[in-house]
Structure 1
């Protein structure tokens, strides 16, 4: 069952950990936590991101870190980046699929190419990275960590494409976890609610343009450092799914036990985001 611990307890000392979206605040927090546990860190992110600065900051903190620019929606770039990680560290033990984008727009006002772009990054980018290093993970009896969202467990107003991509991630990685169990490869799904991160800065509107207007704040935003600490703890103990942040835990519970109430509260909290853009 999701969330159940398995008997394996993982040690990340001298283990090679690949983190996509590595230049963002969540990627950096994860890198510092796993690096602090002795892991070797490989950051992947877009060439336009502050990737080299992020890697240098980790090395200044005493963490063995490298960085490779990579658009994870490009299969060739993904394979080239993974080859460079192998060349440097000799192995890949953990893949953290953290890169992602979000849109904020009504379904009827969202262009098909926006849905496609969200799926390309959130689902297919993670799929490409996983396929590229799967032989390594099988050889090392490694671990795949997928940074999903509460949107992968419950509806989210004004983000139908994003929710679809996160639901698809759950279908993909939880099914893959069943296939890989006999090989000793673990899969951990991480489901936070809103976290203080750079994701909102790259939010797409229905026309594909970035949105400058801030989103509604529902409760206290999660802290990336708290998220990273919980992910490391869950990875060590072999959990399969964790739901994080107070809002995330409440939303997951309400959506399952009282879906009508959850929907009413969600609409009341988030509808204004779209009305302000009209």
Structure 2
């Protein structure tokens, strides 16, 4: 029996991960801030193998509830999938600092703190951790200063953490996708913290979330350290380092509509 904890599991990539893990026979602990959506998702799966606990992933009390519930219901934790995330679409100089703080809290502080809290259970199982970073953590994207900063912080922290927990037999996978077809962008915040009122711009293709879920789980099975599912965005990150002026010109044209 393998027990998997998935954050942000009520929609998007989290739900695709939950369905794929369930199909593989895993027992699941699912969490999401959308209590109604989470309850509906749990009802679609085998209740004997699934526990749902709703709450704000930034709340340390939720972390304690999740891990207590995991030990009580399943007795172990084998895989932690840090999927929950949030983004914004707004020029830096126009954005309320509260938006930056919220994005940083959800995309960086929450996954790091939950992972640290889960380490005792993961040590017992010599388990695995995965975190959803972004190519935006490697290269600047106009209108995403808070998101780029949060994903950069997440990537750096978990790259350091990998070496430290490897001594305990815990494997860590960092995933660096580009643009996915998930609610994270449809629910993006605007400069004032309300839903963004304009469509997003992208670099490269928008990838389906179900395919991303399968790639992630296969990477865990192979015990990869990093997953770069979109070679186009990976190439763009190299372009940013090799020819930053050219990269800025191209990005400025692609994202001009978001700058107001």
Give the TM-score normalised by the residue count of structure 1. 0.88
Q: Displacement, 1:217?
A: 4.3
Which range moved further: 241-250 or 141-150?
A: 241-250
Could you say what the CA RMSD is over the residues aligned between the two structures, in angstroms?
1.7
Q: Displacement, 1:48?
A: 4.3
Residue of structure 2 aligned with 1:131, choices 116, 122, 134: 116
Look up the SS of the partner of 1:41 in the other structure: strand
| Residues 46-68 of structure 1: per-residue CA shift (max 9 Å, x gap) | 144500111122328xx822211
The yes-or-no answer on 1:158 pairing with 2:143 is: yes
The yes-or-no answer on 1:26 pairing with 2:13 is: yes
Look up the SS of the partner of 2:176 in the other structure: strand
Any residues of structure 2 matched to 1:116-195 within 5 Å, and which? 116-195=101-180
| Alignment match, 2:217 | 232
Any residues of structure 2 matched to 1:1-278 within 5 Å, and which? 14-48=1-35, 50-59=37-46, 64-275=49-260
Give the Cα–Cα distance (whole angstroms) in 2 for the partners of residues 212 and 234 of structure 1.
36
Do 2:86 and 2:107's aligned partners in 1 also have CA atoms closer than 8 Å? yes
Gaps of 5+ in 1: 1-13
Which range moved further: 186-195 or 259-268?
A: 259-268
Which range moved further: 43-52 or 93-102?
A: 43-52
Do 1:158 and 1:271's aligned partners in 2 also have CA atoms closer than 8 Å? no
Give the TM-score normalised by the residue count of structure 2. 0.94
Q: Displacement, 1:86?
A: 1.6
Do 2:190 and 2:197's aligned partners in 1 also have CA atoms closer than 8 Å? no
Do 1:71 and 1:78's aligned partners in 2 also have CA atoms closer than 8 Å? no
Gaps of 5+ in 2: none
Look up the SS of the partner of 1:101 in the other structure: coil
Do 2:35 and 2:55's aligned partners in 1 also have CA atoms closer than 8 Å? no
